[in-house]
């Protein structure tokens, strides 16, 4: 895999709560320049990015973010609103407290409610926040996500105590069904790590740093 292929799997992300309009303009312009998979932005910025991108790059947004506390109905309404504003990919956070309670029936219902709101309209990625889970909980959630009809399982929000690890990506790839893809997100800070996540089974990378690294390489060549 070369650098162009790697970039085609990047969700170029700006979820910093202090980001301003110029940051989103820069994000979108970088996404176009480097032909990434999508830009990932908060729901409140989806419409702005949609107008700026004009269909050149897909828009991803986050739902129930970052703690997953919202009810399934509210998450579904958030997703519908985001889609109406131009989002084509939805990254939803499960109710992590339910996961710690091992209430997997509730989590399955949560995901399916959002899936019903997005089927045929938007890709659905499910964030399970691996840094807060035991090995057994991660494996159980792989089964839940596989049963839910979601398109992806995603490691992290980037707002917890840790992000994606090689071990977690390999584990998710092992325990989800073949049709479910894996998104590694949170703390991906080197190109070597990015390539390694792909080798271990990640199909997407959620990161704010890869473009900066690529720009650094380009600058070094001149």
Mean pLDDT (the chain, rounded): 96
Give the per-residue pLDDT at 216: 80
| Residue among 95, 138, 183, 193 flagged as catalytic | 183
| Residue among 58, 80, 154, 181 flagged as catalytic | 154
| Residue among 11, 91, 95, 168 flagged as catalytic | 91
Q: Identify whether the C-beta of residue 15 lies closer than 8 Å to the C-beta of residue 158.
A: yes
Q: CA-to-CA distance for 88 and 122, rounded, in angstroms?
A: 5
- Is the pLDDT at 23 greater than 60? The verdict is yes
- Is the pLDDT at 85 greater than 90? The verdict is yes
Q: Which of 65, 72, 90, 64 is nearest to 15 (CA)?
A: 65
User: Residue 110's domain is classified under what CATH number?
Assistant: 3.20.20.70
- Is the pLDDT at 220 greater than 60? The verdict is no
Can you tell me the mean pLDDT for 172-194? 97
Q: Which of 130, 71, 65 is nearest to 93 (CA)?
A: 65
Catalytic (active site) residue 80: no
- Is the pLDDT at 218 greater than 80? The verdict is no
- Give the pLDDT confidence of 118-172 residue by residue, as tens digits: 999 999 999 999 999 999 999 999 999 999 999 999 999 999 999 999 999 999 9
The structural domain count of the chain equals: 1
Domain that includes residue 19, residue range: 3-220
- Is the pLDDT at 219 greater than 60? The verdict is no
- Give the pLDDT confidence of 37-52 residue by residue, as tens digits: 999 999 999 999 999 9
Tokens read off for 133: 């889970």
Catalytic (active site) residue 203: no
């Amino acid at each position: 895999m070369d650098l162009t292929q790697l970039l085609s799997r990047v969700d170029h992300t700006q979820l910093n709560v202090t980001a301003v309009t110029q940051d989103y303009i820069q994000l979108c312009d970088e996404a176009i320049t480097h032909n990434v998979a999508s830009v990932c932005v908060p729901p409140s910025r989806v419409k702005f990015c949609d107008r700026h991108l004009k269909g050149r790059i897909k828009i991803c947004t986050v739902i129930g973010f970052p703690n997953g506390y919202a009810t399934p109905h509210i998450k579904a309404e958030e997703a519908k609103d985001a889609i109406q504003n131009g989002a084509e990919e939805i990254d939803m956070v499960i109710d992590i407290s339910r996961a710690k309670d091992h209430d997997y029936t509730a989590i399955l219902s949560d995901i399916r409610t959002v899936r019903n709101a997005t089927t045929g309209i938007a890709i659905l990625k499910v964030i399970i926040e691996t840094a807060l889970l035991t090995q057994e909980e991660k494996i159980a959630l792989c089964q839940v996500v596989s049963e839910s009809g979601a398109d992806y399982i995603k490691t992290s929000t980037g707002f917890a105590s840790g992000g994606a690890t090689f071990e977690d990506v390999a584990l998710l790839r092992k325990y989800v069904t073949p049709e479910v893809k894996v998104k590694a997100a949170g703390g991906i800070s080197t190109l070597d790590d990015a390539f390694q996540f792909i080798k271990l089974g990640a199909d997407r990378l959620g990161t704010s740093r890869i473009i900066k690294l690529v720009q650094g390489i380009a600058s070094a060549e001149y």
